[in-house]
Amino acid sequence: MRTIDWVDDAIELVDQTKLPDELVTLRITDVDTLIGAIGRLAVRGAPALGVAGAFGVVLARGDAAQIARLRAARPTAVNLAWAVDQVSALPPEQALEAALRIRDDDIAACVAMGERGAALLEGERVRVMTVCNTGGLACVERGTALGVIQTLHERGRLDEVLALETRPLLQGARLTTWELARMGAPHRLIVDSAGPYLLGRGGIDAVLIGADRIAANGDVANKIGSYALALGAERAGVPFIVVAPESTIDESTPNGDKITIEDRDPSEVTRVRGVRLAPKGTQALNPAFDVTPHDLITAIVTEKRVIKP
């Protein structure tokens, strides 16, 4: 299954807001509809945003204003801006070929990251913890951290996955569990705040996470909650491994302090799927990402290398 693709002169993508209850494919033929899909996380995940941005430039047909709006649709994942810049630098007639190459490169990168990440982990069978969703739904196929998990499972080396639910939009509870169930991988869902505690309790061999932007010094922006996991992993002596394609590394951003963190609608915190949890009028703060300093990261696995920050 491909999360996003180019079919008959249009973008087709899985509407992730409908999962896990419905598998719905959206067919998008204009940039504003694509921007809306990105904003409400119908399409999400750094690599998938890159592919969406690349195909979006094809739909823009050289319209600079549309391309600028597309590039700014979500600020933290570098892949969106990177892909838009790559494709929009070419004449419009070359855009589709370049966008298809970005799609194909992501597919190949996820296979390579899966193999490289699985090789890095020691032990016959491993129990891993992960946050948010980093599977094929965050890419085109297979995924980054969850791609490593899929490779481990395919090789009979996966003992269990402990998946954080990932408030407030529940990418873990809705999407990661759905992908793990589809591949038949053993897993249990946990609340976010249980992560650091369970790391300290023992029996977890590694934390595997994705990334939205990796600064030049190795600081990593990823889903909110990643930093807390890194602190817990450091305290517990558990390897903390980031899995991301080379396109997520942003050499132009010197360190994590310079990464723009997306602040999302406070109602995502006070409501779940539109059902109000907190008293009317409750204010909320909703940073969608945090930054893990490079000194808390054991390794960064890309399709080309393993980096020890």
Ligand X SMILES: CSC[C@H]1O[C@H](OP(=O)(O)O)[C@H](O)[C@@H]1O
Instruction: By CB under 6 A, name the binding residues for ligand X.
Output: 44-47, 132, 134, 138-139, 144, 171, 209-210, 212, 222-223, 288
**Which is closer to ligand X, CB of 5 or CB of 106?**
106
212, 219, 250, 290: which one is catalytic?
A: 212
Q: How far is the CB of 280 from ligand X (least distance, A)?
A: 27
DSSP letter string over 52-70? HHHHHHHHHTT-HHHHHHH
**Which is closer to ligand X, CB of 95 or CB of 294?**
294
Residue of closest CB approach to ligand X: 210
Rounded to the nearest 10 degrees, how much is the dihedral formed by the CA atoms of 155, 21, 4, 79?
-80
**Which is closer to ligand X, CB of 46 or CB of 161?**
46
Burial of 280 per CB tally in 10 Å (0-12, 13-18, 19+): exposed
Burial of 271 per CB tally in 10 Å (0-12, 13-18, 19+): middle
| 85 three-class SS | helix
Q: How far is the CB of 264 from ligand X (least distance, A)?
A: 8
Q: How far is the CB of 144 from ligand X (least distance, A)?
A: 4
Q: How far is the CB of 166 from ligand X (least distance, A)?
A: 8
**Which is closer to ligand X, CB of 66 or CB of 133?**
133
Question: Cα 143 from chain centroid?
Answer: 8
- At 122, phi and psi to the nearest 5? -90, 165
Binding site listing: 44-46, 74, 171, 222-223
Alpha helices of the chain — where are they, by DSSP H? Answer: 31-39, 46-60, 64-71, 78-88, 92-120, 145-154, 171, 177-183, 194-201, 226-236, 267-270
**Which is closer to ligand X, CB of 63 or CB of 178?**
178
Per DSSP, 261 falls in state P
The token pair at 237 is: 């002596």
212 is a catalytic site residue: yes
Question: Cα 110 from chain centroid?
Answer: 12
For residue 291, list its beta bridge partners. 221
Binding site listing for substrate: 44-46, 74, 171, 222-223
Q: How far is the CB of 208 from ligand X (least distance, A)?
A: 10
SS (H, E, C) 206-230: EEEECCCEEECCCCEEEECCHHHHH
Which residues are known catalytic residues? 212
